[in-house]
């Protein structure tokens, strides 16, 4: 220990470890096949209706781009952005609103991941207040065993375990969004929100 600077670092520095993608949870091929199935179901269910996909930025953009190409109907798209949970803050807040009205339209809220359901429930309440003709949820990744609020999910891609995941648009500190598959992130405690 250094007498002048008792808080000095030890002579041998501790190596810095960074989180890295680990086990592949869902392959690129599995993602594409399931998105095609979801697109076919949505095409069938919304035939003849005025459908708008509403995505929640940023994690949803890759999934939503593939999903909209798998829907063989005239559709519109719009996006919302919300604040992330931060210590000392209550819940979430809208930081980017829709650009177009949804009153009287059939709205499909598209999410990358639903965990507790708190964020999705907030978004459903927010959108329902705008009087759409209908409002349903489509989610790529679902963790129903962690749900605190019961949400009717109309279209579900995959049910996943309780782990932090990255890839296919989902990130850790803005990294790993470009992975073409979904992987468990090693070296991180916690879950995606």
C-alpha distances (whole Å) from 136 to each of 27, 99, 106, 152 are 26, 19, 8, 8
Tokens of 168: 């296919």
Of 66, 112, 115, 142, the active-site residue reads 115
Query: 142 catalytic, yes or no?
Result: no
Q: Find out whether 143 and 160 touch, Cβ atoms under 8 Å.
A: yes
Backbone angles phi, psi at 121, to 5 degrees: -65, -40
Q: Is the C-alpha dihedral spanning 138, 111, 141, 151 positive or negative?
A: negative
Which residues participate in catalysis according to the annotation?
115
């Amino acid at each position: 220990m250094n007498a002048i600077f008792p808080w000095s670092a030890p002579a041998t520095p501790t190596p810095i470890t960074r989180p890295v993608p680990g086990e592949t949870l869902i392959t690129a091929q599995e993602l594409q096949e399931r998105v095609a199935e979801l697109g076919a179901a949505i095409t069938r269910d919304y035939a003849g209706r005025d459908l708008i996909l509403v995505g929640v930025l940023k994690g949803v953009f890759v999934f939503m781009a593939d999903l909209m190409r798998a829907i063989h109907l005239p559709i519109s798209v719009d996006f919302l952005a919300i604040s992330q949970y931060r210590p000392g803050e209550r819940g979430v807040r809208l930081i980017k609103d829709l650009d177009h009205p949804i009153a009287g339209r059939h709205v499909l809220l598209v999410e990358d991941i639903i965990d507790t359901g708190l964020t999705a429930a907030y978004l459903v309440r927010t959108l329902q207040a705008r009087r759409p003709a209908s409002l349903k949820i489509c989610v790529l990744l679902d963790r129903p065993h962690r749900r605190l609020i019961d949400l009717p999910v109309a279209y579900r891609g995959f049910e996943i375990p309780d782990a932090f995941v990255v890839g296919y648009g989902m990130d850790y500190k803005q990294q790993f969004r470009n992975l073409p598959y979904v992987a468990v992130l090693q070296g991180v405690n916690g879950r995606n929100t």
